[in-house]
């Protein structure tokens, strides 16, 4: 038995016999079916349709249709059923057509502005909602999450919306550096959604000295630089609002502001540190709960350290090292003299005594220029040759060994400008000097290798100091090197650019130390005159 389905909602009937419908419709319409017939049943058996139509046709045949015409209407049950289907569909009328859902909006489902910890996962994870043209949540839409800035990362970056139209990123891990992080959510051509997370430092993970270590001062005085520490999290970000406790460990001094809180830069500073009244080493600790403490050292010297005599340049001065003199942290004694040089040039300062001497040359503020134990390998007297601009300097004769006392003599004089025979020469910034590379200068090569003739200059530089070194020559292809005292090459240069054979080094110092400036030529065996400028 043939089963025929009707789609009453759409206003259309489906049957593989529909092609028969027009013939029957023309023959029996409008008599075949009452307008009130229930023509839109979900499923109808074809034979039942035939019986129904045949009965109704017989009813009207006697009244309206001539007998001979009826005789010619020999219709099959299938054609009658098809006619009924057509008429039934006409009776059913048309229903509304449902439009397919189309994603039209993408909006934030969670907050678009959050606060998090650098390097940590954002909670809760960002989510968005997709809606269709009717404003209803739309499931099955694809949403992609991507990090825009901040250096973070995401897991499950591509997500399909659920039945509520919501898509949630698997996780969003913020970048390791504090600051703004941005995550974008996109879906096809819809306008994207941006999530911003402002990250802060994590828990305090390290404590380090920041400033004020290894100072010296007169006994009973306040150190010039209050010790400070730097607190960072595990990612190296400065950590603010951390409580730091400072305490005197040795030396008998005192402090103010023993408890300090780190600022936005992660730095906490003690109020002040007064050294003990006796010469010697003073120490101060800084502690943060849960972290290893750090210690600051300072040398308390005799009050005689503040007494300075005047040494007239070009003369000799005599003095005596006594147990009341200024004392370094290693126990050796030292005196201080001020002296002046009239013009830029090369100068020689010496200290002689029956004991092993140690001579220090410094700027008026105590910044080191040069130091020497033994001027000659066979002697115990000290000597310093330095290329200096005109100005005032500090000359400090002392003892090499701790606890030694006795008489000494210091002297000063001009020296040959040329740096010859691989001698030790100290320099400072803001000098210009005419020099010459010769075969009797330093040879930086191994014994069996091709010689590398060079002059060497020692300069003491503090961290953060910028320096520019120029080597110019009409006779040589210049070559410059800046080498730290431990042998590490910090910078070197052959030619400033393609238009010149002059050399230049521009460098900012990262570690307080002595550095060596080597002036060379290319090829390494070439000799001749050059000008060195240090700024």
Residue 212 lies in a domain: yes
Query: Domain boundary residue among 375, 394, 414?
Result: 414
Q: How many domains does the chain have?
A: 5
State whether 394 and 310 are in the same domain: yes
State whether 228 and 328 are in the same domain: no
Quickly state the pLDDT bin for 89 (edges 50, 70, 90): very low
| Cα(417)–Cα(347) distance, integer angstroms | 8
Q: What is the 3-state secondary structure (H, E, C) of 152-201?
A: CEEECCEEECCCCCEEECCEEECCCCCEEEEEEEECCCCCCEEEEEEEEC
Residue 111 domain boundaries: 103-200
Which run of H or of E encompasses 68? Answer: helix 67-72
Residue 420 lies in a domain: no
Query: Domain boundary residue among 164, 182, 200?
Result: 200
**pLDDT tens-digit series, residues 271-296:** 999 999 887 899 999 999 999 999 99
Query: Whole-model pTM?
Result: 0.49
Q: What is the CATH number of the domain that holds 479?
A: 2.60.120.380
Which run of H or of E encompasses 63? Answer: helix 46-64
Query: Judging by beta carbons within 10 Å of its beta carbon (0-12, 13-18, 19+), is residue 66 exposed, middle or buried?
Result: exposed
Q: What is the CATH number of the domain that holds 189?
A: 2.60.40.10
State whether 284 and 356 are in the same domain: no
Q: Looking at 137-151, 325-339, 446-460, which range is the least confident one? A: 325-339
Q: What is the arithmetic mean of pLDDT over 215-237?
A: 93
State whether 385 and 437 are in the same domain: no
Residue 97 lies in a domain: no
**pLDDT tens-digit series, residues 382-438:** 999 999 999 999 999 999 999 999 999 999 999 999 999 999 999 999 999 999 999
Residue 98 lies in a domain: no
| Cα(410)–Cα(399) distance, integer angstroms | 13
Residue 471 lies in a domain: yes
Beta-sheet pairing, 426-427 with 382-388: parallel
Residue-level pLDDT at 97: 62
Residue 419 lies in a domain: no
State whether 261 and 185 are in the same domain: no
Q: Distance between alpha carbon 153 and the CA centroid of its chain, in Å?
A: 16
Quickly state the pLDDT bin for 55 (edges 50, 70, 90): low
Is residue 348 within 8 Å of 415, Cβ to Cβ? yes
Query: Domain boundary residue among 367, 388, 414?
Result: 414
Quickly state the pLDDT bin for 79 (edges 50, 70, 90): low
**pLDDT tens-digit series, residues 454-492:** 999 999 999 999 999 999 999 999 999 999 988 999 999
Is residue 182 within 8 Å of 147, Cβ to Cβ? yes
**pLDDT tens-digit series, residues 176-220:** 999 999 999 999 999 999 999 999 999 999 999 999 999 988 888
- Of 84, 82, 17, nearest to 56 by C-alpha is 84
Residue 110 lies in a domain: yes
| Cα(276)–Cα(251) distance, integer angstroms | 5
Which residues, 6 or more positions from 227, have their beta carbon under 8 angstroms from its beta carbon? Answer: 209, 211, 212, 213, 246, 269, 270, 273, 284, 286, 296
Asked whether residue 90 carries a pLDDT value surpassing 70, the answer given is no
- Of 99, 100, 101, 102, nearest to 189 by C-alpha is 102
Asked whether residue 86 carries a pLDDT value surpassing 70, the answer given is no
């Amino acid at each position: 038995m043939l089963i025929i389905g009707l789609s009453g909602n759409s206003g259309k009937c489906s049957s593989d016999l529909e092609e028969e419908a027009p013939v029957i419709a023309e023959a029996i319409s409008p008599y075949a079916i009452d307008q009130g017939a229930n023509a839109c049943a979900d499923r109808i058996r074809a034979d039942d349709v035939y019986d129904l139509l045949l009965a109704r046709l017989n009813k009207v045949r006697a009244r309206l249709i001539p007998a001979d015409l009826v005789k010619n209407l020999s219709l099959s049950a299938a054609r009658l059923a098809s006619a009924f289907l057509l008429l039934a569909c006409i009776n059913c009328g048309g229903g509304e057509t449902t439009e397919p859902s189309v994603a039209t909006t993408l909006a934030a489902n969670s907050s678009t502005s959050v606060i998090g910890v650098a390097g940590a996962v954002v909670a809760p994870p960002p989510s968005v909602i997709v809606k269709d043209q009717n404003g209803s949540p739309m499931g099955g839409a694809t949403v992609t999450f991507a990090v825009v800035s901040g250096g973070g990362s995401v897991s499950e970056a591509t997500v399909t919306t659920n039945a509520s139209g919501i898509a949630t990123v698997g996780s969003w891990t913020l970048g390791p550096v504090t600051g703004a992080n941005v995550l974008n959510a996109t879906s096809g051509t819809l306008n994207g959604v941006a999530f911003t997370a402002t990250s802060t430092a994590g828990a305090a993970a390290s404590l380090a000295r920041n400033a004020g270590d290894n100072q010296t001062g007169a006994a009973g005085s306040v150190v010039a630089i209050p010790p400070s520490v730097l607190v960072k999290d595990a990612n190296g970000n400065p950590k603010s609002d951390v409580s730091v406790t400072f305490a005197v460990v040795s030396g008998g001094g005192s402090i103010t502001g023993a408890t300090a809180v780190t600022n936005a830069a992660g730095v906490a500073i003690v109020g002040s540190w007064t050294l003990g009244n006796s010469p010697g080493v003073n120490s101060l600790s800084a502690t943060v709960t849960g972290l290893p403490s750090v210690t600051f050292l300072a040398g308390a010297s005799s009050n005689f350290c503040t007494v300075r005599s005047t040494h007239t340049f070009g003369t000799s001065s005599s003095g005596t090292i006594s147990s009341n003199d200024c004392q370094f942290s290693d126990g050796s004694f030292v005196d201080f003299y001020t002296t002046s040089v009239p013009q830029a040039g090369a100068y020689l300062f010496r200290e002689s005594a029956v004991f092993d001497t140690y001579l220090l040359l410094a700027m008026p503020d105590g910044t080191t220029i040069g130091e020497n134990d033994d001027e000659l390998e066979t002697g115990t007297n000290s000597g310093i040759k330095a290329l200096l601009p005109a100005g005032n300097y500090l000359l400090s004769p002392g003892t090499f060994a701790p606890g030694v006392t006795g008489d000494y003599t210091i002297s000063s004089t001009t020296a040959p400008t040329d740096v010859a025979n691989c001698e030790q020469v100290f320099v400072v910034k803001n000098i210009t000097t005419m020099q010459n590379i010769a075969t009797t200068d330093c040879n930086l090569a191994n014994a069996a290798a091709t010689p590398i003739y060079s002059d060497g200059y020692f300069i003491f530089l503090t961290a953060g100091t910028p320096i520019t070194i120029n080597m110019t020559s009409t006779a040589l292809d210049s070559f410059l090197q800046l080498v730290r005292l431990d042998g590490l090459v910090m910078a070197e240069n052959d030619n400033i650019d393609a238009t010149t054979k002059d050399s230049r080094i521009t460098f900012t110092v990262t570690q307080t130390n002595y550095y060596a400036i080597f002036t060379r030529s290319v090829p390494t065996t070439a000799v001749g005159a050059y000008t060195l400028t240090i700024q």
